[in-house]
Amino acid sequence: MKTILVTGANGQLGSELKKLSKNVKFDFVFTDVDELDITDILACAAFFDNVRPDFVINCAAYTAVDKAESEKRIVWKINVDAVKNLVISCSLHGSYLIQISTDYVFDGKSSVPYVERDLVAPQSEYGKSKAAAELEALTCPKSLVIRTSWLYSTFGNNFVKTMIRMGQQREALNVVFDQIGTPTYAEDLASAILEIVGKIDSDEKKFAGGLFHYSNEGVCSWYDFACAIMKLCGSKCRIYPIETSDYPTPAKRPKYGVLNKAKIKSTYEIDINHWYSSLEKMIDALNRVETL
Ligand SMILES: NC(=O)c1ccc[n+]([C@@H]2O[C@H](COP(=O)([O-])OP(=O)(O)OC[C@H]3O[C@@H](n4cnc5c(N)ncnc54)[C@H](OP(=O)(O)O)[C@@H]3O)[C@@H](O)[C@H]2O)c1
């Protein structure tokens, strides 16, 4: 049986992969920084010699977008240097590397969904480091870079869980309506990644490397997303639309980060859910956990 190494496995995407791994016929090795610090090149080499993974799904990253502006050294160490370490080990062992990236590699000046060949122009330190990581990952002979956007999960901290919590505490909230993108349920992304791995495993000729875009279907603003969250939770909290200029943050975010997913859908024959139905599913899952 083939072995899949998941790094950063305690994060949102890693936890979703762990949840889904029970239904998939692979040997999984889940690691987070305590088991395998991917910034440590010697630790990576020793780990690969021992585990000999056929596939590596790198879910490890520095993802605190605003804090990243003042912690550049550590951001680049985790998001770029560590990817170099994985590339070296994957290249040596002939492993497939699946690296996750972000719509924050774009400047957000487009008004039509971004395709993979569009030029990157990151506006934040996080975005710059993820763009550099893409280039590193693509030097690996068998690599796939999947850009995604607005990731949320029942695991970890994210916009959905913050809105639900604040909706219980406040009567009203202001949310920006001039940043447009697509929310992505990490469970859907995890499922798509496992589907791709399964297809490559069943027939290596199905492998197509390079850049791919994956988010849920549809488009919304953070304001629309917040309204949907409150509606699905039955919250009475009112949401007011505000402009980005009224909510300044240390990191600049793209005004428009919608990803065109035609390439991943046609290459790997992936079906993608609409963001609203996936949000419904996630909130149902949260409610089930809370009532246990
Ligand atoms: N979150 C989003 O909205 C979003 C959007 C687009 C793309 N992405 C990308 O999607 C991927 C998954 O994101 P996510 O939201 O699942 O991230 P996450 O929840 O922040 O998880 C990242 C995990 O990596 C771990 N980690 C940090 N440094 C490490 C190291 N040196 N070695 C091993 N593990 C380390 C973190 O541990 P600690 O928590 O202890 O630091 C955490 O468990 C990332 O590549 C991210 O850039 C995320």
Dihedral sign from CA coordinates of 62, 63, 67, 72: positive
- Span 178-207, pLDDT tens digits: 999 999 999 999 999 999 999 999 999 999
- Span 81-131, pLDDT tens digits: 999 999 999 999 999 999 999 999 999 999 999 999 999 999 999 999 999
User: What's the CA dihedral at 193, 23, 31, 153 to 10 degrees?
Assistant: 60
User: Is 177 domain-assigned?
Assistant: no
User: Is 212 domain-assigned?
Assistant: yes
Section 9-30 average pLDDT: 97
Both tokens of 72, joined, read: 């550049």
User: Is 14 domain-assigned?
Assistant: yes
> Crossing angle, helix 125-137 and helix 82-93, to 10 degrees?
10
pLDDT at 22 > cutoff 70? yes
CATH classification of the domain holding 33: 3.40.50.720
Residue 189: per-residue pLDDT: 98
CA-nearest of 122, 46, 125 to 78 is 125
The number of distinct structural domains making up the chain is 1
Cβ–Cβ < 8 Å for 85, 40 = yes
Ligand 1, pocket-test mutation among 30, 32, 80, 104, most atoms within 8 A of CB: 32
Say whether pTM exceeds 0.85: yes
Both tokens of 280, joined, read: 């419904």
* C-beta 43 within 6 A of ligand 1: no
* C-beta 6 within 6 A of ligand 1: no
Please say if 126 is a catalytic residue: yes
The type of residue at 152 is: Y
- Span 176-185, pLDDT tens digits: 999 999 999 9
Section 237-255 average pLDDT: 97
Section 260-283 average pLDDT: 98
Kindly report the number of other CB atoms within 10 A of residue 81's CB atom: 16
User: Is 150 domain-assigned?
Assistant: yes
Cβ–Cβ < 8 Å for 207, 142 = yes
Task: Tell me how far apart the alpha carbons of residues 278 and 62 are, in angstroms, rounded to a whole number.
Answer: 25
Residues whose CB falls within 8 Å of the CB of residue 162, separated by 6 or more in sequence, listed in order: none
User: Is 241 domain-assigned?
Assistant: no
* C-beta 78 within 6 A of ligand 1: yes
Of 96, 104, 126, 152, the active-site residue reads 126
Residue 288: per-residue pLDDT: 87
pLDDT at 251 > cutoff 60? yes
Cβ–Cβ < 8 Å for 62, 37 = no
Task: Tell me how far apart the alpha carbons of residues 116 and 264 are, in angstroms, rounded to a whole number.
Answer: 10
User: Is 151 domain-assigned?
Assistant: yes
- Span 36-94, pLDDT tens digits: 999 999 999 999 999 999 999 999 999 999 999 999 999 999 999 999 999 999 999 99
Residue 291: per-residue pLDDT: 60
Both tokens of 175, joined, read: 């949310």
Alpha helices in the chain (DSSP H): 12-21, 41-51, 72-76, 82-93, 125-137, 159-169, 186-202, 222-233, 262-268, 275-291
CA-nearest of 117, 146, 143, 147 to 208 is 143
SS3 assignment, position 95: coil
Cβ–Cβ < 8 Å for 148, 186 = no
* C-beta 37 within 6 A of ligand 1: yes
The type of residue at 192 is: A
pLDDT at 289 > cutoff 90? no
- Domain that includes residue 199, residue range: 3-157+183-217+258-273
Task: Tell me how far apart the alpha carbons of residues 247 and 250 are, in angstroms, rounded to a whole number.
Answer: 10
Both tokens of 62, joined, read: 């520095």
User: Is 98 domain-assigned?
Assistant: yes
- Span 208-227, pLDDT tens digits: 999 999 999 999 999 999 99
User: Is 245 domain-assigned?
Assistant: no
pLDDT at 292 > cutoff 60? no
